Amino acid sequence: MQNILITGACGQLGSELTTELRNIYGSDHVIASDISEPNLLIADGPFEYLDVLDRPRIEEIIEKYNIGIIYHLAAVLSATAEKNISQAWKLNMDGLLKVLDTSKEKKLDRVFWPSSIAVFGPDAKKERTPQSSACNPTTVYGISKLAGEQWCSYFYRKFGVDVRSLRYPGLIGYKSHPGGGTTDYAVDIYHKAIKGEVFDCFLKKDTALPMMYMSDAVKATINLMQAPAERITIRTSYNISGFSFSPKDITASIRSMIPEFEIQYNPDHRQAIAESWPHSIDDSPARTDWGWKPEYNLQSMTEEIIKNLPVFWNMETA
């Protein structure tokens, strides 16, 4: 069997995707890699230190483990990217190019790379943004994701690299922590609410953004990667949608379970990033091509997180 390599496996998506892929294919077949120490979720299987800018090291790991599939997740997210433009560009672009070129040279079976709703800029349609709406991003992160999509399409057309991609909305989970995104508030808010603390929100109360519960994001990623190649008609990146909400909406959802929860609003530089993005996404091609359908909505996600986050904290400290 060919094995799977995940870069950026200690990140928010990487940790939960590694766990699920190990459930499906067996721990020994899924190699987690990152520049950070493995966290609790991914500590039960093979782990390699990997800086994705180090191409010889990527090749060494591919050979050592007979890697056939890469999930290349290592990236700098939107808010952090605005603070360090060149480092974000280098990691997001050079990292992707090294993975794509190595995949071509080593004739890997398949590659996954995450894009984002950040490819859309202020002139895209705001509601139910279609797959082909104007992509004129105004953030470094968005520019890197848009360029990355074109590189994926190029490597597919020119060299036949079977690279597949999703434009993730904000991802929300309780088992792992986000780092440096504009949608991160929607994870932190649950931590504060359960601890009984006031939440200081860096977005305005009516700023609606597309979001998705992490188990839906993991399911979408694996479904896309398992789909027969002939079902994949989009080789840049697929729109996918879960649900949309504003800080005001998530507050109401949390208050349905924790009525005393308090929030205050102090918008910062991330407000401008959020305002440049769509409010909601039309994901018709993903539904038609490979059967995408989310399971969670805002309320079912809130209920699951509020029930399980304290249990997870106990496991972390045990």
**Chain residues in the site for ligand AKB (CB under 6 A):** 77-78, 116-118, 141, 168, 170, 181-183
Q: How would you class 56 by CB atoms within 10 Å of its CB: exposed for 0-12, middle for 13-18, buried for 19 or more?
A: exposed
Q: How far apart are the C-alpha atoms of 228 and 226, rounded to whole Å?
A: 7
φ, ψ for residue 267, nearest 5 deg: -60, 140
Nearest distance in Å: CB 65, ligand AKB: 29
Between 141 and 292, name the residue whose CB sits nearer to ligand AKB.
141
Q: Which amino acid is at 110?
A: R
Look-up of token digits 């993005």:
277
Beta-carbon count within 10 A of 131 CB: 16
- Is residue 49 part of the annotated active site? The answer reads no
Nearest distance in Å: CB 209, ligand AKB: 8
Between 61 and 118, name the residue whose CB sits nearer to ligand AKB.
118
CA angle 30, 36, 42 (to 5 degrees): 35
Nearest distance in Å: CB 254, ligand AKB: 20
User: 271, 9, 238: which is closest to 117 by C-alpha?
Assistant: 238
Q: How far apart are the C-alpha atoms of 148 and 4, rounded to whole Å?
A: 21
Selected catalytic residue, list 25, 49, 65, 141: 141
- E-strand spans in the chain? 3-7, 30-34, 47-49, 67-72, 110-116, 163-168, 170-172, 199-201, 209-213, 238-239, 243-245, 263-265
Q: How far apart are the C-alpha atoms of 142 and 119, rounded to whole Å?
A: 5
Between 157 and 269, name the residue whose CB sits nearer to ligand AKB.
269
Q: How would you class 107 by CB atoms within 10 Å of its CB: exposed for 0-12, middle for 13-18, buried for 19 or more?
A: exposed
Between 68 and 148, name the residue whose CB sits nearer to ligand AKB.
148
Q: Output the residue with the shortest Cβ distance to ligand AKB.
A: 181
DSSP string over 236-286: S-EE---EEE-HHHHHHHHHTT-TT--EEE---THHHHHHTS-SSB--HHH
CB–CB of 73/11 below 8 Å?
yes
Nearest distance in Å: CB 151, ligand AKB: 17
Between 67 and 124, name the residue whose CB sits nearer to ligand AKB.
124
User: 105, 124, 108, 106: which is closest to 116 by C-alpha?
Assistant: 124
User: What tokens appear for 189 in the block?
Assistant: 């808010």
> Catalytic residue numbers?
141
